[in-house]
Amino acid sequence: MTRAERASEVYKELFQSERTPSPTDPEFMEILQRNIFGDVFAAGNLSNKDRELITVAALSAIQALPQLKAHVNAALNVGNMPLEIRETIYNCAPYIGFPRTLNAVGVFNEVMTGRKVKLPLENAATTTDATRREKGLAVQTGLYGDEVRKAMASLPGEYKNAVPDMLTDFCFGDIYTRRGLTIKQRELLSLVVLTALGAEKQLSVHVIGAMKAGNDKETLLAAMLQAAPYIGLPNALTTINLIKNADIENYKPIYE
C-alpha cells in the first residue's frame, strides 16, 4: 500500500468520508495528509482509539479549536466513548488552565450536541472535599513521591504548604481520581500536553511518572510521534530525547 492509499484508508476511518483535494491549497494538504495519515498512523503500537485521544489532548493544549472539533468527531468514530474524550479534555486543566480547558470543553459539547449525545454526561468524580487530598496524595506519592513538597519547603509562610497542596488537591485529587480514564492513560496524556506546552522543567519527571504508571518506552515514543505533526517537531523531539535516555529498569510500573 502506498502512502497515499494508507492516508485515504485512515482518513476514511477517522472522518467517515473520502479524501478530496483542497480547492485552495491542494499541495500542502496532500503533504499534511500523507505525513499524518499515511506515515504517522502506520508507526508504533497505538490503537486508533489511543491515537485520537492523544490528538485531542494535543489540540486542546495548543487551542487548535477548528481541528479539535474534527478530531473529537474522529475519536467517536474510532470507538472512544464520550466520557473518555471528555476526561481527556478535563485532564488538560491543571496544565493549560481553566479558560483554555473551557474553550476545548465548548468544542466537545458542540460535537456531542450535534451527534445527539445527551448532556451533561455522567458525573465521574470519585472524591469529595473531605477525601480529595487523601486520595490525591495516594496517587501523587505513588508516581512522584514527595519531591514537590520538599522542593517547596523553602517558600515563605503559608506558601510552603499552599503550593504543593494545590498540586495534590487539584491535579491528583480532583482530576486523576476521576472515572473514564486510567492512571496509565492520564499520565500518557499529561506528558503529551506538557510536551505541547514546551514545559521542559516538568517533562523529565513526567517521563518517569508515565513509565511508573505502566507505559513502556515504545508507547511513549509512539505518543510523541503521533503528537508531533500537531505540536511541532522541536517540542516532540525534546521529549523523545528524554524518553530515549530514561533508564526504565529503575521504574517498576505501579499501575497497569
For residue 47, what pLDDT is reported?
Answer: 98
**Whole-number pLDDT of residue 247:** 80
CA distance 195 to 210: 13
Say if CB 239 and CB 215 are below 8 A apart. no
* Cell representation of residue 64: 487548535
Q: Are 213 and 253 in contact (CB under 8 A)?
A: yes
d(CA 181, CA 81): 11
Q: Looking at residue 199, what is its pLDDT? A: 97
Please give the Cα distance from 56 to 222 (Å, whole number). 15
Residue 256 is predicted with a pLDDT of 52
pTM of the predicted protein model: 0.96
What's the pLDDT score for residue 250? 62
Q: What is the pLDDT along the chain (256 residues), one digit of tens a residue?
A: 899 999 999 999 999 999 999 999 999 999 999 999 999 999 999 999 999 999 999 999 999 999 999 999 999 999 999 999 999 999 999 999 999 999 999 999 999 999 999 999 999 999 999 999 999 999 999 999 998 999 999 999 999 999 999 999 999 999 999 999 999 999 999 999 999 999 999 999 999 999 999 999 999 999 999 999 999 999 999 999 999 999 866 656 665 5
Length, in residues, of the chain: 256
Q: What residues have CB less than 8 Å from 86, skipping those under 6 apart?
A: 105, 108, 121, 124, 180
The whole-number pLDDT of residue 8 equals 98
Which DSSP state fits 248?
G
